[in-house]
Structure 1
């Protein structure tokens, strides 16, 4: 294995790109509306106008760019692809490495509210971590992709190489959305070094595997009902990403409000209504996709993982073997489909299962305190088990 150099990195978007985005927002064309848009039609024109007004006149990209640049970052080339990561070392001598893996439609910015607390916890008795948060290949500062074939296992191979280049040995991994698939793949391809994985497990995929079975209890019945509702009314984005990512990309790459609508709808629909994702976090994520031009390459994860399957989210688990490393699952109540433990235990060696009191799909942005506590609790449990 040839080791490529690791380079320090800082985010620095050209001012001409910032100015171009503002001009596009100022000259945006708005779609027609039949009476008043209903939420079931998609994100409303009223909601979009509020977001665009903020993005154009109130959102300070340079301030958020500087906030992200608080964290040391690196880039390297792995398997012909640029790979970017936040690499925040802890000053604690007992800290252990932790990989944080985002999903779609997200970026490494999803973790900016938890990195410092994980590396230097306010409670000195809590576990501390050397935090490595990669931008998944094809997403944000690790994109666009240079070739096809970047599914979960190839991404995991690249991240395993990154960890070696950063000088880390045995490590833990956390993932949600696409990131949970990459975390599970890390356990398979780098099992000697992965001490455990913590997942916001994909309840959609688990329910899809059991969709033709009678539920064993009320929780399973609810999960199957939510899965049916998702596939029937809310999964068009996944099918488009999986089957026509290039066609989708033209509108997203050329229209900032198109890119914003594609992303903002998910941040609204998949979050806990009591703990919504902050508007500026939505706009930071959208800005990263816009400035890096990664609408198409991020969508290709769906093409790699789901194309052969009729229902979104049912593919990877049908093709992957049992994950035999210690696995923790945190179930947030407003997930698209909350995971079911019995179903998860068919695929993972579950050693910790937590039902959290709040939060949804973007837990690091909605309830960062709960996610940090879950990760610290899992690390403490693994140490006690050793």
Structure 2
């Protein structure tokens, strides 16, 4: 049953309600292509079942069989269409008009605080559906303290693309996301939240747009150019987490280098086959989570299917330009004045310990460390992340009072 939430009367935008359904013809074509997709020959590496080499051949064989015989795409569609979905035409400098998709829970409360939740890679707006489900059960439109906006980022998922005639960048994406919130009637202020790519866009929004009053991140790292604070202030546990992070940076970042330096080749090759896409994305979805609570194969197949049916992968690689910028000592801008909230999930790929975050960011208003959860916090620990965001928003709510 679809959840009903009203559109705020302040919205000046022309919203188009949207329902996502893949045509049956495309599902049949996908099944045919998947059946014919070849799995590479056995090698020493792909028979080791060792994450340091990537996905194993055995895993890919079993995942393909499940995809063909025991996977229900329509069930994943239903979970998407359960929530109010919209599209809106956004005008941005240099890019012209672009269609942006978002799911939303709008409040009827006059003092509801707008929050935009932004996903990362390899993710989609669907990462936040568990959180939206919690909110829909906890509140009604009359009691919901927030307007919850969950977009498909530009060039991702159900949002449009301009990448065939202009390169999408972090700054352009941030501009579009800010304009989305303004066009929805939230020019008086909003909170930006994100992890991974979403965190980079949120930090740019905090620095560049006054409408962004506060921002909450579940990925924060030591930027190049920042003086490394003392290790003496860290606990043994924090040092161990940093060592694990350093190991991943030394062994697991090859994908970003390929994306950032050869986006055309990577995009065309990996998006040419369902199995190629599954191996490439599946590796990240398995490796980047808390190993004690991995994502289900059904979820992995659902997200990869979403990427396939929306032609996301080849157009979404602008996230990798961030890696090039960090290498060049030019990280995305970030505000050190506006209130910042940071939720650290200890099995994330990169972290910034609390003492370091407090030293670098005098505007750190909220911090919480979680022993459970990894890179995909909104999926792995939806309740915990939501609780953190709600506490942070309560702390900064006074800045939204008129």
- TM-score for both structures, normalised by structure 2: 0.85
In structure 1, the partner of 2:33 is 24
Alpha-carbon distance, 1:87 to partner: 1.9
1:334-366 CA distances to partner (integer Å, 9 max, x unpaired)?
Answer: 111222234434256201110113111111111
Is 1:136 matched with 2:150? no
Matches within 5 A, 1:232-251: 232-251=250-269
In structure 1, the residue matched to 2:4 is none
Is residue 54 of structure 1 aligned with residue 66 of structure 2? yes
Name the CA distance, whole Å, in 2 between partners of 1:372 and 1:5.
29
Give the whole-Å Cα distance in 2 for the aligned partners of 1:195 and 1:127: 20
User: Which sits farther off after the overlay, 237-246 or 342-351?
Assistant: 342-351
Q: Distance in 2 between matches of 1:131 and 1:176?
A: 16
CA distance in 2, matches of 1:339, 1:195: 22
Residues 148 and 361 (structure 1), Cα distance of their counterparts in 2 relative to 1, 3 Å cut = same
Q: Distance in 2 between matches of 1:51 and 1:128?
A: 41
Partner of residue 109 from structure 1, selected from 102, 110, 126? 126
2:395 alignment counterpart: 381
Once the two structures are superposed, what CA deviation does each residue of 1:172-206 show, in whole Å capped at 9, x if it has no partner?
12100010011111112222x22321111233xx1
Aligned to 1:316: 331
Give 1:295-334 correspondences, 5 Å limit: 295-303=313-321, 305-310=322-327, 315-317=330-332, 320-334=333-347
Partner residue, 2:86: 74
Specify every segment of 5 or more residues in structure 1 that has no aligned partner in the other structure, as ranges. Answer: none
CA change 1:351–1:384 in 2 (3 A) is same
Q: CA deviation at 1:119?
A: 4.8
Q: Distance in 2 between matches of 1:308 and 1:377?
A: 32
Q: Is the 8 A contact 2:123 2:303 kept in 1?
A: yes
Q: How far apart, CA to CA, are the structure 2 residues paired with 1:369 and 1:75?
A: 27
Aligned-pair CA distance for 1:70: 1.3
Aligned match of 1:349: 363
CA distance 1:275–1:347, shift in 2 (3 Å): same
* Cα distance in structure 1, aligned partners of 2:118 and 2:330: 19
Q: Go from structure 1 to structure 2 and tell me whether the alpha carbon gap of 1:134 and 1:348 turns closer, same or farther (over 3 Å shift).
A: farther
- 1:15 is matched with 24
Farther-moved stretch of structure 1 (88-97 vs 147-156): 88-97
Residue of structure 1 in register with 2:112 after alignment: 95
Aligned length, in residue pairs: 376
Deviation at 1:321, TM superposition (A): 4.9
Unaligned ranges ≥5, structure 2: 1-11
Aligned-partner Cα distance in 1 for 2:204–2:325: 19
Once the two structures are overlaid, the 10-residue window that deviates more, 10-19 or 28-37, is: 28-37
The aligned counterpart of 1:163 is 181
Q: CA deviation at 1:243?
A: 0.6
Deviates more, 1:245-254 or 1:210-219: 210-219
TM-score by length of 1: 0.88
Deviation, 1:142, is 1.3
| Residues 63-101 of structure 1: per-residue CA shift (max 9 Å, x gap) | 211210111122223223221111221355553211000
Task: For 2:158 and 2:136, locate their aligned partners in 1 and report how far apart those are by CA, in whole Å.
Answer: 22
Q: 1:210 to 1:276 in 2, by over 3 A?
A: farther
